[in-house]
Structure 1
Amino acid sequence: MAPLSRRFFASFAVVAMLAATAGTAAADPDPKTILAPSGKLRAGLYPGTPTSYLAGKDGAAPRGVGYELGKAMAEKLGVPYEPVVFAKNAEVLEAVKTGAVDVAFTNASVARAKVMDFAPAYLDIELGYLVRPGSPVTSLDNVDAAGVKVGVTTGSSSEAALSRDLKAAEVVRAETVAIAAEMLTAGKLDAFATNKATLFEMSEKVPGSKVLDGRWGMERHAVAIPKGRDAGLPFVRAFTAEVKQNGLVAGAVERAGLRGAQVSEMK
């Protein structure tokens, strides 16, 4: 082979090797740059529920499944953790949609999947009702009756479902879980609907209240990330499988005092 030809093929081989290397890099992006583009992981949380965030008392560290999973995810990525606590879940969801936060831990509903991407579920939670003392609602069978006021939080998946499914009862919106508890106490609501983890937490703030037996649905909580960052989904899926298998989800559930929930089955 002539020297010129050898140089041509050598150059061609180098170009091909660089192209292959570039292709591999493009196919395998660094999850850190995709999922935490600001250099820190901003986790959207909201207070008053053990599924998300419970402030620590007397200097104790915060609790909550979402809070703990966000911290573990930041550690796995190797970036600082920045929990961002909003007043209500609707604000968390909006922050995910706009990219104001990098991750959230919430019910993976069909409607939400249109505006954010989800990993497989890590937690299954029954949906139920909390009733005030003296409420006309005594079981799931007599919730949907004329004159019954059923509370939901504004922008929640419970609002969407019950506004459609309840035909006779009045659906009353409350901005936050804390406000809903006050409305129950004042007799402005006969029942409040959401996941049972939140209901049991609320019951401690509404004397004489009761979480009804049975369920009207299920929530499947999962890690959510903003649309456009789907290249980071393999990392999020692997993280979800790991924290279910290594006991972190179960431990966070126990530390938060979360009731009415179980770790999702491995898939």
Structure 2
Amino acid sequence: MALPGFAQDASGKAELTPTGTLRIGLIQAPSAGLIFVGRTSDGKPYGVTADLSADLAKKVGLSFAITLFPNSGAAAAALQAETIDVSFMPVDAARKQVLDFGPGYYDLESTYLVTGASGIVDVAQVDRSDLRVVAIDGTTTIRASARTLKQTQPVAVPSVAEAIERMRTGTADAFALSRDTLQPIVAQVPGSRIVTGGFQQTQVAVVVPKGRPAALALVTAWLAEAKRSGIVRGIFDAHGFSGDAVAP
């Protein structure tokens, strides 16, 4: 059922859903994580952000529709074009110029998955001129990787699935992504490992198109309450992330 405080916020709901339906953009990957969603055999998205989306729609008393994107850059572009109303993605300075972020729900660290043949164990060792690094196009991770690498640069690929395929086939040596998302990928790339250390720390947050202050206030209040009440903690636990902390 809708909570009165959220459901009665007429200006917030009007700004959040100009079409009358809450249009949510989520990011798809082969395995669900704290940012990415997977898909069931019948195509239904599942994962942490899918459950957060359902809770948001329930609390504000709105019907919702989910659009899946191959990467957060594509979801960010859809928010800018206002073809979706809300999403969840990592924060960085470039995105804050064009989108409005609410509170974070998870503290993210970006790092690298490397092949066994590379011999690399530490994040600093990735910065080699002969190393082929891939990262997802349009993301905070590829921007941070490009800033921190001096001897090589990441090559953009459109999706997690494409990056995994390059690692499997030996056409990439390192894959830049969030640590939590890389963990289930290790088993999909025989001999691979996640390096120690990281090159980016940021938050994954709820985000709306720029220039919708009432909508931003509404999603900010919703997520703050979902964290305070333990809903976010319960969603993490339900998806196997009991060892990961909810952002304060």
- What TM-score do you get using the length of structure 2 for normalisation? 0.88
- Change beyond 3 A, Cα 1:96–1:60: closer
- Change beyond 3 A, Cα 1:156–1:212: same
Does the Cα contact within 8 Å between 1:68 and 1:252 map onto a contact in 2? yes
Q: How many Å separate the matches in 1 of 2:147 and 2:199?
A: 13
* Within-5 A mapping of 1:117-156: 117-156=100-139
- Change beyond 3 A, Cα 1:129–1:186: same
Does the Cα contact within 8 Å between 2:26 and 2:87 map onto a contact in 1? yes
Does the alignment pair 1:251 with 2:234?
Answer: yes
- Which of 3, 7, 17 aligns to 1:36? It is 17
- Which of 152, 173, 183 aligns to 1:200? It is 183
Flag structure 1 segments of 5+ consecutive residues without an equivalent: 1-27
Q: Kindly provide the amino acid, as one letter, of the partner of residue 114 in structure 2.
A: V
Which residue pairs with 2:36 in the alignment?
52
Q: How many Å separate the matches in 1 of 2:55 and 2:22?
A: 10
Q: How many Å separate the matches in 2 of 1:259 and 1:213?
A: 21
Q: How many Å separate the matches in 2 of 1:196 and 1:228?
A: 32
Q: Which has the larger radius of gyration?
A: 1
Percent identity over paired residues = 33
Q: How many Å separate the matches in 1 of 2:237 and 2:189?
A: 23
Does the Cα contact within 8 Å between 1:121 and 1:222 map onto a contact in 2? yes
SS at match of 2:25: strand
Which residue pairs with 2:96 in the alignment?
113
Q: How many Å separate the matches in 2 of 1:206 and 1:260?
A: 24
Which residue pairs with 1:72 in the alignment?
55
1:4-27 CA-to-partner distances (Å, cap 9, x unmatched) read xxxxxxxxxxxxxxxxxxxxxxxx
The number of equivalent residue pairs is 237
Q: Kindly provide the amino acid, as one letter, of the partner of residue 25 in structure 2.
A: G
- What TM-score do you get using the length of structure 1 for normalisation? 0.82
1:67-106 CA-to-partner distances (Å, cap 9, x unmatched) read 1111111111111121111233221111111110000000
RMSD value over aligned CA atoms?
Answer: 2.0
1:228-261 CA-to-partner distances (Å, cap 9, x unmatched) read 2112222111111111122222222233335884
